[in-house]
Structure 1
Amino acid sequence: MRIDIITCLPQLLDSFFAASILKRAQDKELVSVNVHDLRDYTTYKHKQVDDYAFGGGAGMVLMIEPIANCIRSLQKDRTYDEIIYVTPDGERLNQRIANRLSLKENLLILCGHYKGVDERVREHFVTQEISIGDYVLSGGELAAAVISDSVIRLIPGVLSDETSALTDSFQDDMLAPPIYTRPADFEGWVVPEVLLSGHEAKINDWRYEQALQRTRTRRPDLLNE
């Protein structure tokens, strides 16, 4: 998989992809993440990429020209399965979206900033709009990183144990059950006996019931969906 990210603040993403699972995925050549500085594609003086909104109002807007230049330049080398714009009014990210995107080969993610991007970008270039929650960030860089993380960890070979991703919360429309590790008894707080039994069928039944109970209590909307 290849993920290209367009941003006017590339330094915000430097550390995110330079450690842990995401770095190992790139070292193993399972994914390539490429961050593109929008300012490299502007023809305006002083690397300007934003301007005031027509009609007035507070805040600056990312201009269409540098974004179009960047996207068209990248499209010369590959066809993107999705051109994603991260925005508060997009479809809310969930595990199903991450699962679907993990099957793609080429993804392009556009990070908004300031008040967002010229609407013509969304009309003529963007194929999918994603939000990571009902709140506003200073820019789309954190959201792009969240989307990338949720997708990359699903690529076969990224996690040392591929079944780990399959048992995460939301994969089966339920929350994950409680988990425990050593010691089995800490100050009188003991691990459920069934988990120490070695009986795989009973353990699986217990985990399913716990997941169902936790989902009913904390996220009943998942069961309704």
Structure 2
Amino acid sequence: MRIDIITVVPGLLDGPFAHSILKRAEDKGLASVRVHNLRDYSNNKKKQVDDYAFGGGAGMVMMIEPIAHIIEALKSEREYDEVIYLTPDGETFNQNMANELSLKGNMIMLCGHYKGVDERVRQRFITKEISIGDFVLSGGELAAAVLTDAIIRLIPGVLNDETSALTDSFQDGLLAPPVYTRPAVYDGMEVPELLLSGHQAKIDEWRFEQSVRRTKERRPDLMEGKDF
């Protein structure tokens, strides 16, 4: 998988891709993330990528020409399965979407900025619009990092234990159950005895019951339509 991220502030993405699981995926040759400075594709000597909105109003708008130049340049080098625009009014990102995107090959992510992009960018180039929640960030860079992390960790071979991702919260529509590790007793607080019993079937049943209970308590909206 290759992910190309288009941004006006590439420095914001220096950290997330240089460490931990994303770095491991790159080292293993399982995924590649490339960050592109949109200003490098501006026709303007000042590297301008935004301008005033037609019709007036506060804020600047990202211009279509630099975005068109970079997307067309990238597409001339390889095929892309998705061109994603990170925007507050996009479809809300969730685990199912992460699962679907993890099966893709190459993707472009366009980070919104200012008051957003010229609408013609969305009409001509964008195949999917995604939001990470009902709030506004200064730009789409952090959202792009969130998507990239959530997607790449699902690629087989990225995690040391591939079953780990399959037992994360939301994979089965439920929150994950409580987890414990050593010591078995800390300041009078004991690990549930069943987890020390070695009876895997009973442990699995307990974990499922705890997942259902926790989901009902913390995210009752996820229980809609479920019969347990």
Question: Structure 2-normalised TM-score?
Answer: 0.98
Query: How far 1:46 sits from its partner (Å)?
Result: 0.7
Instruction: Render the CA deviation track for 1:117-148: whole Å, top value 9, x for unaligned.
Output: 11100011000000000000000000000000
Aligned twin of 2:153: 153
Aligned twin of 1:118: 118
- Say yes or no: does 1:15 pair with 2:15: yes
1:46 partner SS: coil
Question: In structure 1, what residue type is equivalent to 2:127?
Answer: T
1:216, 1:38 → 2: CA distance? 45
Aligned twin of 1:107: 107
Q: Which runs of 5+ in 2 are unaligned?
A: none
1:36, 1:72 → 2: CA distance? 13
1:12 partner SS: helix
Question: Structure 1-normalised TM-score?
Answer: 0.99
- Say yes or no: does 1:28 pair with 2:28: yes
What RMSD in Å do the two structures reach over aligned CA positions? 0.6
1:45 partner SS: coil
Aligned twin of 2:203: 203
Instruction: Render the CA deviation track for 1:184-210: whole Å, top value 9, x for unaligned.
Output: 100100000110001100100000000
- Alignment coverage as a number of residue pairs: 225
Query: How far 1:45 sits from its partner (Å)?
Result: 2.1
Percentage identity across paired residues of the two chains? 71
Question: In structure 2, what residue type is equivalent to 1:96?
Answer: N
Aligned twin of 2:192: 192
Aligned twin of 2:173: 173
1:35, 1:167 → 2: CA distance? 31
1:87, 1:56 → 2: CA distance? 21
Aligned twin of 1:50: 50
2:150, 2:3 → 1: CA distance? 13
Instruction: Show structure 1 runs of 4+ deviating over 4 A.
Output: none
2:183, 2:59 → 1: CA distance? 54
1:11 partner SS: helix
